[in-house]
Amino acid sequence: MLKKINSALISVYHKDNLDEIIQLLDENDVKIYSTGGTYDYIKNLGKDAISVESITNYPSILGGRVKTLHPKIFGGILGRRNNEKDKLHFQEYDIPEIDLVIVDLYPFEETVASGKNEDEIIEKIDIGGISLIRAAAKNFNDVLVVPSSDYYEYLITLLKEKCGQTELSDRRTFAQYAFNVSSHYDTAIFNYFDKENTKVFKQSILSSNSLRYGENPHQEALFYGELNKVFHQLHGKAISYNNLVDLDAAINLIKEFTEPTFAILKHTNACGIASRQNVLDAWKDTLAGDPVSAFGGVLVTNSIVDEKTALEINKLFFEIIISPDYEKNALDILKQKKNRIILQKKSYDFSGKQFKSLLNGVIEQQKDTKKETVENMNPVTETSPTENEKNDLIFANIIVKHSKSNAIVLVKNKQLIGSGVGQTSRVDALKQSVAKAKEFGFDLSGAVMASDAFFPFADSVEIAHKAGITAIIQPGGSIRDKDSINYCNKNNIAMVFTGTRHFKH
């Protein structure tokens, strides 16, 4: 059953598109109550409005902190139109019925993000507005609530289509929007105050993107967040769930490097990566690391892609490329495949925490941001790594940190030449990495090895030595570390401990 909107209370921060709403309300003979800047805005449009102060007989006080918090206002919103006792209270206390509440809250999150001082942030915690939203949403049987400027267009459409009337289903839908807005707002405030990291899980993201499908075509999927803050899509088909998982891995890997670097990832693992003096050489040596696995991969670089590099890249079938930028001719070349996803990465600071659903809850942890350096290597053998080996060990350790456990990585001259990832045995991971390196014609003499965790036995060290490995980096911590160290000393292998394990599931 349609219900006529006879009166509206409007108190908003953002006033964009509000003029069209005011015009539609005026055309439908809706009485408007307002306060503060919104009241002035309406009057400047040449439309009639009744000030809240004239209803409550109280001015806006405490620097604007108290405007609408009054029984006459909240009574007019919360009063049940079909309740006889409520009707008597309307008459006894001269309470005006309010059928529509339009609110746009103070921009708390934007104020925090802008780096304002705490006093300014606190003043952007909306009290009256959030109370109006909750009251109107609670009484959706009688009241329509518009909780944010994000929903102005929805209201405009509703007013046009139903000529200033609403159905119960409309009001209930808008109530759902309202509690979504209010719960998100309160979560943002809580997370600002939660400096001590209270052991509760509160996350709220308003925006979402429908994905083509989940890990498999029969699974539906959504991404909650704002991808346009992370990258700009320049070309290609819609991004899938698996694409996003790989992109997350690619971005986190590439940000560890400062030299011109390229990487190719498959199922979040690097199958090729190299750092060189220029992006073209980096690409060529990245592809050479495993040209078979590179097919259909995700490409990432920290350098601008030029025309010569694009010509080489274009020879390969791949799903995605993400780069800080592209030369115009390079972009034209890469766009030759209509489904190829081309992304331009933006500068963005990611959260230091990560979480995922598990069993009947959520697990959360700090991200693994620990980065080993040459200075904090702990040599444990008589033979020390050369300067070149030290650089390769750090390079290898970064890669193994971003590879699925159990993981072994082989590197030579800042080029990934073999890897074994996601294996149930560290020995199997090592054998796989050696086999891959040999398959693609790499000489392992003088190469280095990185392991994401300690070696429980010396057998892995022995296999590596026989393959030609001359330096090893690993966390250490096994009760049999001495066995590995003794083997290295007998065979002039350099081994360094980092003291940090880098498991990745």
Active centre residues (catalytic): 138, 267
Amino acid at 66: V
Number of other residues whose CB lies within 10 A of the CB of residue 387: 8
Inter-residue contact 53 to 34 (CB < 8 Å) = no
Rounded-to-integer distance, Cα 390 and Cα 388, Å: 5
Strand-pair category, 378-379 with 353-358: unpaired
Q: Cβ of 199: how many Cβ atoms within 10 Å?
A: 6
Identify the CA nearest to 367 among candidates 499, 206, 255, 226.
255
Beta sheet of 50-51, edge-to-edge order: 50-51, 31-34, 7-12, 100-104, 144-146
Query: Alpha-carbon distance 451 to 486, whole Å?
Result: 18
Start-to-end C-alpha separation, the chain: 55
Q: Which two tokens stand for residue 226?
A: 């704002």
Distance CA 179, CA 368 (A): 35
Report the amino acid identity of residue 307: E
Strand partners, 220: none
434 near 444, Cβ under 8 Å?
yes
What SS3 class is residue 208?
strand
Radius of gyration, alpha carbons of the chain: 31
The tokens describing 371, both together, are 């980065």
DSSP state of 326: B
CB 104 within 8 A of CB 148: yes
The kind and range of the H/E element at 460 are helix 459-467
The residue behind tokens 């040999």 is: 438
CA–CA dist 479, 365 (Å, integer):
27
Q: Are 316 and 283 within 8 A, CB to CB?
A: no
Residue 271 CB neighbour total at 10 angstroms = 23
3-state secondary structure of 403: coil
Q: Which two tokens stand for residue 12?
A: 């908003």
Residue whose C-alpha is closest to residue 140's, from 99, 175, 182: 175
